[in-house]
Amino acid sequence: MVEQRIIREHGLEAKVADLVEAPIEAAGYRLVRIRISGLNGMTLQIMAERPDGTMTVEDCEAVSRALSPVLEAADPIDRAYHLEVSSPGIDRPLVRRGDFETWAGFLMKLEANRLIGERKRFRGRIVAVSNAGIRIERDQPAYGEPNAVDVPFDAIGEARLVLTDDLVAASLKADKAARKRRGEAGAAGGEEPDLH
């Protein structure tokens, strides 16, 4: 069973997410995020990953093939659009409790959907994850503000990792380990993984 996302879309993006989440899971992947933007007229971006957090170009193609008939039949968007299936990338969005646990200790940005101690935006390291939410140790607190803040999961509007050297190193190590578990070529070293 796939861990449920705690950070979800709204409006048309939520409608598309409800439509594609089950077929993505049936294909062996999990949905990370849906975004609809005005790029190239209109672009539907579907961000997905394997359960181990990795995603290759071939995986993106497989998800696209699995979703094309579903999207054509349901026709959730009332005008022409470009479908883009992508990986979360290194500076990935955090959408499940497990994401926060996996990336604890790393720098992240978070936007709350309501005020938390007079603020909605936070930047810092994930230092604790509970059933109710996360604790962030802020790296740049304003004068007089606490160094740490607790944010309930239901208050998180958006959260994503910040690209740092430590994050790149950890991501490369995790990708190499996942490839080795799957017995893929290039896992022994030398070949750099495609993380985007």
Whether 79 and 99 map to the same domain: the answer is no
Whether 134 and 171 map to the same domain: the answer is yes
SS3 23: helix
Whether 182 and 156 map to the same domain: the answer is yes
Whether 121 and 178 map to the same domain: the answer is yes
**Which residue segment(s) compose the domain that 74 sits in?**
11-86
Q: Whole-model pTM?
A: 0.88
Whether 95 and 58 map to the same domain: the answer is no
Domain count, the chain: 2
pLDDT digits (tens, 9 = 90+) for 47-88: 999 998 899 999 999 999 999 999 999 999 999 999 999 999
Q: Single out the residue in 56, 71, 86 at which a domain terminates.
A: 86
Phi, psi of 140, rounded to the nearest 5 degrees: -140, 60
Q: Are 46 and 20 in contact (CB under 8 A)?
A: yes
Is there a domain that residue 42 lies in?
yes
Is there a domain that residue 4 lies in?
no
The span from the CA of 156 to the CA of 141, in Å, is: 19
Whether 48 and 124 map to the same domain: the answer is no
pLDDT digits (tens, 9 = 90+) for 87-107: 999 999 999 999 999 999 999
Whether 54 and 100 map to the same domain: the answer is no
Q: What is the pLDDT of residue 182?
A: 82
Q: What is the pLDDT of residue 186?
A: 53
In this model, does residue 195 exceed pLDDT 80? no
Whether 45 and 97 map to the same domain: the answer is no
- Structure-model confidence comparison of residues 28 and 40, the more confident one: 28
* Secondary structure E strands in 39-145: 43-49, 82-86, 107-116, 119-129, 133-138
Our CA dihedral for 180, 107, 109, 193, rounded to 10 degrees, sits at -20
